């Protein structure tokens, strides 16, 4: 048996990834340092299943995804606004927010959780907050002084950024392989939304 690093996500449109890349460029130009996500790796995560999922579980996971996808109709997402988790004082993740479609995305998240939990993949304890990850800050170190002020100013400048829209037609299972150049994601399964 092979251990796999798996997550479930929805893909976003080329429009969204292009706009997200422009936002990243603005943050870089403002001197914000992070491990920025490459356009071709951008997605909206619904569930992270773990670093050590047995490949023998793939069939059951795919069936659970199919069942969940059958309960939710296709929907539209509108992206906009930029922020950080957990906060600007100790940032770990820079994100592009979801404005329109968050409720439908939440229903898809919950439908997946309902079917994945009996398989041994419970949802995270924290509340699901849909977002497109733009970058990760190394170590979540405290940003104080000029560095913190620079981050706050850059986030404020991008606060009303229009991230574009995407039509969500399917939900996908991905394998993620960590490499020196960054993570590489391979789609293993896709289930059309049909609810």
Residues belonging to the active site: 43, 131
Closest CA to 119 of 29, 56, 170: 56
152 within 8 A of 166, measured Cβ to Cβ: no
Q: How far apart are CA 134 and CA 20, in angstroms?
A: 7
Do the beta carbons of residue 163 and residue 80 sit within 8 Å?
A: yes
Instruction: Show the tokens assigned to 179.
Output: 């490499």
Neighbours of 60 (CB within 10 A): 15
């Amino acid at each position: 048996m092979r251990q796999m690093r798996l997550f479930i996500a929805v893909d976003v449109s080329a429009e969204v990834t292009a706009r997200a890349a422009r936002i990243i460029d603005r943050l870089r130009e403002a001197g914000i340092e992070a491990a920025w996500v490459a356009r071709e790796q951008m997605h909206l995560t619904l569930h992270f299943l773990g670093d050590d999922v047995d490949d023998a579980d793939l069939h059951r996971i795919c069936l659970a995804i199919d069942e969940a996808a059958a309960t939710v109709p296709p929907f539209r997402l509108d992206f906009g606004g930029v922020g950080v988790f957990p906060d600007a004082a100790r940032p770990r993740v820079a994100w592009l927010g979801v404005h329109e479609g968050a409720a439908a995305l939440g229903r898809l998240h919950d439908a997946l959780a309902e079917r994945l939990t009996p398989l041994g993949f419970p949802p995270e304890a924290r509340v699901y907050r849909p977002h497109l990850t733009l970058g990760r800050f190394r170590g979540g170190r405290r940003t104080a002084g000029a560095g913190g002020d620079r981050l706050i100013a850059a986030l404020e400048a991008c606060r009303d950024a229009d991230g574009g829209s995407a039509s969500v037609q399917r939900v996908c299972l991905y394998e993620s392989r960590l490499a020196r150049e960054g993570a590489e994601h391979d789609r293993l399964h896709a289930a059309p939304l049909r609810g």
